[in-house]
Amino acid sequence: MAEKSVTVVEKKLIKVAIIEDFKLTRVGLRCALNENDDINVVAEAEDAIEGLKLIERSKPNVILMDLGLPGMNGIEATIKAKEMYPDTKVIALTSHDREEEVIAALSSGASAYCLKDIDPAKLADVVRDVAEGACWIDPMVSQMALNSFPKVENIGFLPNKNQSEGRVPLTEREYEVLKHLVTGKSNTEIAKELIVSVHTAKAHVCSILQKMCVNDRVQAAVKAVKEGMV
């Protein structure tokens, strides 16, 4: 009798770079993330200049970027990192919850904004979600970030209404997905909320990005809030 073949599905290894000026914090982040089989810290730097050089060599999927770096700060470093390596995702790390810092971080191209007291297990989940293309804002600052954007009154955004010039023509389902996307939910979480497959949720997100003429979920979320779509 022929032996049955067993297919082993391996998890995709997520490579992470840490740019943080406090050594103790770097060590703690590295130890916490390396406890996960699917995450590997491949580079560490204490300033942005060194970090950008290491990124070029190590080619991480995700960068943990301290915003309070000496010299070139984390906002400037994020902008440069996204210019040089547009496919690499950035998670902004900070001890502060200032409104202007949240907006600056997301506007610079970061896919997530995390306070440094985040639970290690949750941080690992954020790394996974961001690596898949999701955006995430720490719940402690998310409402503040949304409230900072001006609301545009009297905009009809449901489908089948007369679309004014420049209006993004999303379907009703896409608007539902967009609302979840703005709150930082991953494709998996959106799929659970809408009772659809992850593949379907991902397809909706891709369609939204294309219709909104943006490159990633963070840009879509920022644009949606700025234009009063949610």
The answer to whether the CB of 230 falls within 8 A of the CB of 186 is no
Amino acid, res. 171:
T
Do the domains 151-226 and 14-146 match in fold? no
Query: So what CATH class is 14-146?
Result: alpha beta
The residue among 95, 98, 90, 89 whose CA lies nearest residue 118 is 95
What confidence tier does 163 reach under pLDDT thresholds 50, 70, 90? Answer: very low
pTM greater than 0.95: no
pLDDT, tens digit (0-9, with 9 covering 90-100), for 193-219: 888 888 788 888 888 888 888 877 878
Per-residue pLDDT tens digits for 76-133: 999 999 889 988 999 999 887 777 778 778 778 898 999 999 999 999 999 998 998 8
Residue 164 confidence (pLDDT) = 39
Distance in angstroms (rounded) separating the CA atoms of residues 33 and 123? 8
For residues 8-34, average pLDDT: 89
Give the phi and the psi of residue 16 in degrees, each rounded to 5: -125, 140
At 168, the pLDDT band (50, 70, 90 cuts) reads low
User: pLDDT digits over 28-86, tens only?
Assistant: 999 999 999 999 999 999 999 999 999 989 999 999 999 999 999 998 999 999 889 98
CB 62 within 8 Å of CB 15:
yes
Mean pLDDT for 149-174 is 54
Sequential DSSP letters for 157-213: -STTSPPPTT-----HHHHHHHHHHHTT--HHHHHHHHT--HHHHHHHHHHHHHHHT
- Cα atoms in the 13 Å half-sphere on the side-chain side of 22: 11
Assign domain 151-226 to a CATH class: mainly alpha
Enumerate the domain spans of the chain. 14-146, 151-226
Backbone angles phi, psi at 170, to 5 degrees: -85, 150
